């Protein structure tokens, strides 16, 4: 199974037609888009599909929550969008993205650059793995030459794994030969 994932690239799993916003959309239009498409975030693009920012449900809800504390509630996407964002290229390996999305390697392997162990007590690999969840976004804009070509979601990776592994009647997961794209 690992060899199949090692060969996959982001463009094979990305959503090539994601819902997008522009800087002039209101936060209410953004809420409508996210709710209607059952998505948690959307890229913000200009008329040439240049990526300008990214808006998540958290950005929108935080803005609405702040209404109680601020007389100047942001109303446009330009005012709430994130402009510092992580992006991926369509040619990036899915295996590398998966590792980045789900594992905090500093928690999993608590060592200094010289290899010295820096944690308090002994923990098995399995114990460290349970605590090594990555605190990174679950959706990434896929960008080539500054232009948005899609988004890749953690859910897409889950669907790929669901296609690769099907439980047999014995209750164990067994790899099956299928196309993953």
The CATH number for 2-175, chosen from 2.30.110.10, 3.90.320.10, 3.10.580.10, 3.10.129.10, is: 3.10.580.10
Angle at 85 between CA 36 and CA 43, to 5 degrees: 25
Give me the phi and psi of 39, to 5 degrees please.
-125, 160
Residue spans of the domains in the chain: they are: 2-175
Predicted structure pTM score? 0.75
Q: Return the beta strands (E) in 124-163 as ranges.
A: 139-144, 147-153
Lowest mean pLDDT among 42-51, 69-78, 115-124: 115-124
Structure token digits, residue 110: 């608590």
Judge whether residue 178 has pLDDT over 50.
no
Q: What is the mean pLDDT of the chain?
A: 82
Higher pLDDT, 89 or 66: 89
Using the predicted structure, report yes or no on whether residue 123 has a pLDDT greater than 80. no
Contacts of 110 (CB under 8 A, 6+ apart): 117, 118, 119, 128
In this predicted model, what pLDDT tens digit does every residue of 6-28 receive, in sequence order? 788 999 999 999 999 999 999 99
Is pLDDT at 35 greater than 50 in this prediction? yes
At 42, which helix (H) or strand (E)? strand 41-45
Mean pLDDT of 79-98: 92
Residue pLDDT, tens place only, 127-156: 766 666 666 788 999 999 999 999 999 888
% of the chain residues with pLDDT over 70:
76
Residue partners of 122: CB distance under 8 A and separation at least 6: none
Residue 179, C-beta contacts closer than 8 angstroms, at least 6 positions apart:
none
């Amino acid at each position: 199974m690992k060899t199949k994932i090692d060969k996959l690239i982001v463009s094979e799993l990305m959503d090539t037609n994601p819902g997008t916003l522009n800087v002039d959309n209101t936060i209410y239009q953004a809420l409508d888009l996210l709710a209607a498409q059952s998505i948690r975030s959307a890229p913000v693009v200009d008329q040439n599909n240049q990526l300008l920012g990214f808006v998540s449900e958290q950005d929108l809800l935080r803005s609405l929550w702040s209404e109680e504390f601020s007389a100047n509630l942001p109303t446009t996407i330009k005012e709430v969008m994130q402009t510092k964002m992580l992006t991926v290229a369509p040619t990036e390996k899915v295996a590398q993205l998966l590792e980045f999305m789900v594992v905090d390697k500093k928690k999993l392997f608590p060592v200094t650059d010289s290899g010295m162990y820096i944690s308090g007590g002994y923990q098995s690999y399995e114990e460290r793995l349970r605590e090594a969840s990555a605190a990174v976004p679950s959706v990434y804009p896929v960008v080539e030459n500054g232009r948005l070509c899609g988004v890749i979601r953690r859910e897409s990776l889950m669907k790929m794994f669901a296609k690769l592994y099907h439980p047999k009647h014995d209750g164990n997961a067994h790899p099956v030969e299928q196309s993953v794209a």
